[in-house]
Amino acid sequence: MQRKAHFTLITSLLLIFLLLIQCSPQKKDIQETSQQRPDFAKITPLTESWRAKKISLFIHFGVYSSLGGKWKGKDINGPSENIQAIAGMGADEYQQTAASFSPKKWHPEDIIALAKDIGAKNIVYTVKHHDGFCLFKTETTPFNIVDFTPFNKDLLADLSNACKNAKIDLSLNYSLTDWHLPAAWPITSRNGAPITQEHHNTNLQQLKELLTNYGKISSIYFYSGLPTPEQSKEMRDLIHELQPQCLISNGIGNNMGDFIAMPFNQPLDIIPETPWIYRSSLFPPSLGFDKNKKVLDPLQTAKDKIRELVNVISSGGNYAINLAPRGDGSIDPQELEILSHMGRWIKVNAQALSQTHTNPIEIQSRFWSATCNKNLLYLFVDSVPASQKIILPGLNTTVKSIKFLGSGIEPEFLNKAQQLEILWTSPAMADPMQLPVLEIVMNSPLHPSPGKFLSAGPNDTIWLNQSNAIPSNSITGFDQLSSIPSKTSLKWNLKVQQPLMATLKFSEYEAGKSLIIETDSSKNNVLLKGKVGDFIRSVADTIQQKSIFRSSPFYGPFDKLHINPRGDNRLQISRGSWKGLSQNGEKTIPLPLTNFYYYIEIISESAQQYCFKITGNDGIQLWNNNKELLKQVNPHVDQPLVCQIVLDLNQGINILLVRNFNRWGNKDQFSLTPLPDARWLTQPLNLPDNLQYIKVERASPANPHADIDLPNFSIELVTKN
């Protein structure tokens, strides 16, 4: 009775839940380490060890599993693990469901066996989902599996012991949203609500329990919630203090993660240099057990997931597959069949996945994917060309032998000038996945291609800028609703025999920033000061900026595009309503996650460059004449986002489309100001002769994921005789 009385305060949750429409550890067994905790998001022995464990088994299991996506005889429309919110269940109704939660068929040994079958070196266990129910013993709330249920058993403790005995890493998945905790209110309709201080204190206490009572934790995945920078840092510091080897996902927010965990089933737009993992579920959109899931062909699903896995690993990422046990704790037969199909193929071809690196071959092919490990190259053959030959160009070594993994059959091959030609033959082995793997043994390791080169002869000029650079990529943002791809450094490979004269060219916006400029034989800090040079605009020419039109508001995250930016007038850009800013006299209060698009026509007397100042809220995206030039997130919650950008204007009408992202619902800050007096700044740069590359990065970035933020920066290289 005391237990039920404790929760009588939670009576208003029904109304709040109707708004929620999406999703989308006493000390023991902790291994001491003398290794210093690395700077987050840097490539270190810890992150390299994490990268080497390519496959993880993710588990979503909780009270929601016993409902399986059905409430009062009706199927819910959305992820089954969010049934409490989607079905509008009252707090008392969900508590009654939790009070009878008794997963008597939960056996950690079954989970361990399945993980081994698919070659998983890591199990990621969801210890608390948005519903606030804890699958571990905690002193912060009686709403946990030990104190609130007749099962009265700590599932995490059992799994921790099983993982330790099986020598499999244990990781945790923890939601920073808590629908059950009054201190976590108010709750928004998206998984990005701010975290109150009392809620944050509860999170810290639970993290302390998790990292003290359950042995070594390999990594922690955070998701949902919107911590402040101070809260993210406090969580990170606590984790570092208790378990220095524990890596943290980007879900901790505010660019403080060690690795990037993309939302489930969401492909990456870019391949980051930061360690990353792709997470996949078998029955999207649900991650928890779903009675309503579509009946699939288990073999075909396994084929699709194996190709998904290979594509991720050959691209340099890690792969996690989700498991959704039923409410009684047993493994769903359909999921078991799919994973068993996958496991049989993985066992045969494990060496082509584990301890490997990204595809080192310069070209990509629709016929195959590749991984490598020292002098071994693995080719995953999805289909065979009509010529019955597989051609691998650009090899800088010769090949000793080739065989199929599994059968050991050796196809014929020819070593040609920096090209390998494999004469196709059947692997002569039954492969339900229809994805045979060739092991190619080379005389020396095959190093990844450095990428494109820029070349110049005597008295030539080369301009190095963002458009012809090879970037290092990451993902930046304060939460997953605001995260965007970022370029953390720029690199140019050169083929130049002559000595060079180099000049840095930039705008006032870049002035004062400190850069590290690296070549193959030098590395220097350079402060951008510059000498005032020419006007950016053509002195004799002017521009005419016509009326600014604003779209209707679009609500959602910053990474989603709402309109087609390729049109040449505002009616083609969007079917929505547009108004001139002078027509928007009504008092409009922006809501959180508002996106406004602004359409501006700029008439230029001639083709010229022109500098503009752009002010916005929490993110700006800009297109000039259908070409995207800028996408930038604001790291400062309490300041407008201000940027200057030089546009290449055509003679006549130019169309500028700007998107202003308002994450917090503050006053709209958008403005566009021409800067006719803006001038270029130039600065000489000393470079060694016969250099092979130039790399530029910020000397003191705000964080390892931050964009280099040099939109108008370039390097002029002039070759000398």
pLDDT in tens, 72-99: 999 999 999 999 999 999 899 999 999 9
Rounded to whole angstroms, the Cα distance separating 491 from 78 reads 44
Q: Are residues 134 and 280 in the same domain?
A: yes
Parallel, antiparallel or unpaired: strands 522-527 and 514-519: antiparallel
The answer as to whether 37 is a domain residue is no
Q: What distance lies between CA 75 and its chain's CA centroid? A: 31
Q: Are residues 393 and 492 in the same domain?
A: no
Last residue of a domain, one of 395, 411, 442: 442
In 167-269 the beta strands, taken as DSSP E runs, fall at 169-175, 219-223, 247-248, 260-261
Half-sphere exposure of 183 (CA within 13 A, CB side): 13
Residues of 367-387 as b/e, b for ≥16 C-beta within 10 angstroms? ebbbbbbeebbbbbbeeeeee
Q: Are residues 688 and 662 in the same domain?
A: no
What's residue 326's pLDDT?
Answer: 97
Q: Hey, which residues does 454 pair with through a beta bridge?
A: 494
Rounded to whole angstroms, the Cα distance separating 595 from 621 reads 10
**Residue type at position 173:** N
The answer as to whether 21 is a domain residue is no
Which structural domain, as residue segments, surrounds residue 377? 368-442
Q: Are residues 514 and 551 in the same domain?
A: no
pTM value is 0.89
Counting every residue written for the chain, the total comes to 721
The answer as to whether 363 is a domain residue is no
Q: Are residues 326 and 385 in the same domain?
A: no
Task: Report the CATH number at residue 247.
Answer: 3.20.20.80
- The number of domains in the chain is 4
- The share of the chain scoring above pLDDT 70, in percent, equals 92
The answer as to whether 258 is a domain residue is yes
What's residue 196's pLDDT?
Answer: 92
Q: Are residues 580 and 640 in the same domain?
A: yes
Q: Are residues 398 and 318 in the same domain?
A: no
Task: Report the CATH number at residue 407.
Answer: 2.60.40.1180
The answer as to whether 152 is a domain residue is yes
Q: What distance lies between CA 665 and its chain's CA centroid? A: 25
Residue 591 exposed, middle or buried by CB count within 10 Å (0-12, 13-18, 19+): exposed
The answer as to whether 34 is a domain residue is no
Q: Are residues 248 and 102 in the same domain?
A: yes
Q: Are residues 227 and 304 in the same domain?
A: yes
Two structure tokens written together for 373: 């490990």
pLDDT along the chain (721 residues), means of 10: 36 34 36 36 77 95 97 93 93 95 96 97 97 97 97 96 97 96 76 86 98 98 92 97 96 94 88 93 96 88 97 95 98 96 96 90 84 94 93 85 95 87 87 94 81 83 94 90 93 87 96 96 95 92 90 90 84 76 61 92 95 96 95 89 96 96 91 96 92 94 92 93 71
Longest dimension (CA), the chain: 91
What's residue 8's pLDDT?
Answer: 35
- ∠ CA 538-541-547, nearest 5°, is 115
Residues of 84-113 as b/e, b for ≥16 C-beta within 10 angstroms? bbbbbbbbebbbebbeebbbeebebebbbe
The answer as to whether 435 is a domain residue is yes
In contact, 294 and 277? CB cutoff 8 Å: no
Two structure tokens written together for 229: 């920078």
Rounded to whole angstroms, the Cα distance separating 498 from 104 reads 75
Cis before residue 285, ω within 30 degrees of 0? Answer: yes
In contact, 403 and 410? CB cutoff 8 Å: yes
**Residue type at position 101:** F
Last residue of a domain, one of 414, 442, 470: 442
What's residue 46's pLDDT?
Answer: 86
The answer as to whether 617 is a domain residue is yes
In contact, 536 and 545? CB cutoff 8 Å: no
Q: Are residues 435 and 473 in the same domain?
A: no
Task: Report the CATH number at residue 669.
Answer: 2.60.120.380
Q: Are residues 253 and 156 in the same domain?
A: yes
Q: Are residues 124 and 204 in the same domain?
A: yes
Last residue of a domain, one of 442, 476, 508: 442
Two structure tokens written together for 114: 């399945």
Task: Report the CATH number at residue 464.
Answer: 2.60.120
